[in-house]
Amino acid sequence: MISIVPISDVEPQAVEHLLDRAFGTGRHERTAYRIREGMPAIPRLSFAALEKDALVGTIQCWPILFDGDDGRDVPLVMVGPVAVEPARQRDGIGRDLMLSALNAAVATGDAAALMLIGDPEYYGRFFGFTADRTTEWRVPGPVEQRRLLAMGDSVPNGGGMLGPRIAALA
């Protein structure tokens, strides 16, 4: 049986090792890491999946900022990485973790502007994320525009740059 617990219940080193196994050790070079560089994950939106006390999945969410070309700053929550132990993938654990984070975001009032970088075939199909409003967004590194996804009533529509939300640690 899988139980979803706050990520603070798990050793930080165990989380890092799982992320290495799911994404490879070069993961720190990814654009997603640069967007939230220097930010701590938001504890109330970050979870671990345990199976008989063994860590089999994690999700972390981060405070980021959209610096709009029109002068408007919009705080967003970056969702992910979602990582599932390779041997346990495709068994619903990723979905459980995503739903835990999304439900928590609704409960805590953090769901107005969510974004992530990921496959629309997964995050669109199961959770409703789309690239409709991200066409003019810029990020600090390479990204396939179709994988720059967002969801929520306050997601900005125009041009602007994504980066860490330095002034407002969650």
Ligand X SMILES: CC(C)(COP(=O)(O)OP(=O)(O)OC[C@H]1O[C@@H](n2cnc3c(N)ncnc32)[C@H](O)[C@@H]1OP(=O)(O)O)[C@@H](O)C(=O)NCCC(=O)NCCS
Binding site for ligand X (CB under 6 A): 22-23, 80-84, 89-95, 118-119, 121-122
Answer for the pair 77, 110: CB distance below 8 angstroms, yes or no: yes
Q: Which of 76, 86, 88 lies closest to 35 in space, CA to CA?
A: 76
Comparison of 49 and 155: residue with beta carbon closer to ligand X: 49
User: Is there a cis peptide before residue 81, judged by omega within 30 degrees of 0?
Assistant: yes
CA dihedral 103→95→51→49, nearest 10 degrees, is -50
Question: Which is closer to ligand X, CB of 85 or CB of 110?
Answer: 85
Q: How far is the CB of 116 from ligand X (least distance, A)?
A: 6
User: Which of 65, 77, 64, 62 shows the shortest CA–CA distance to 7?
Assistant: 62
CB of 61 to ligand X, least distance (A): 11
Considering the complex, what minimum distance in angstroms separates the CB of residue 119 from ligand X? 4
Which residue, 23 or 33, is less far from ligand X as judged by CB?
A: 23
For ligand X, which residue has the nearest CB? 94
Cβ nearer to ligand X, comparing 58 with 163: 58
**Shortest distance in whole angstroms from residue 123 CB to ligand X:** 8
Six-digit token pair at 46?
A: 């970050």
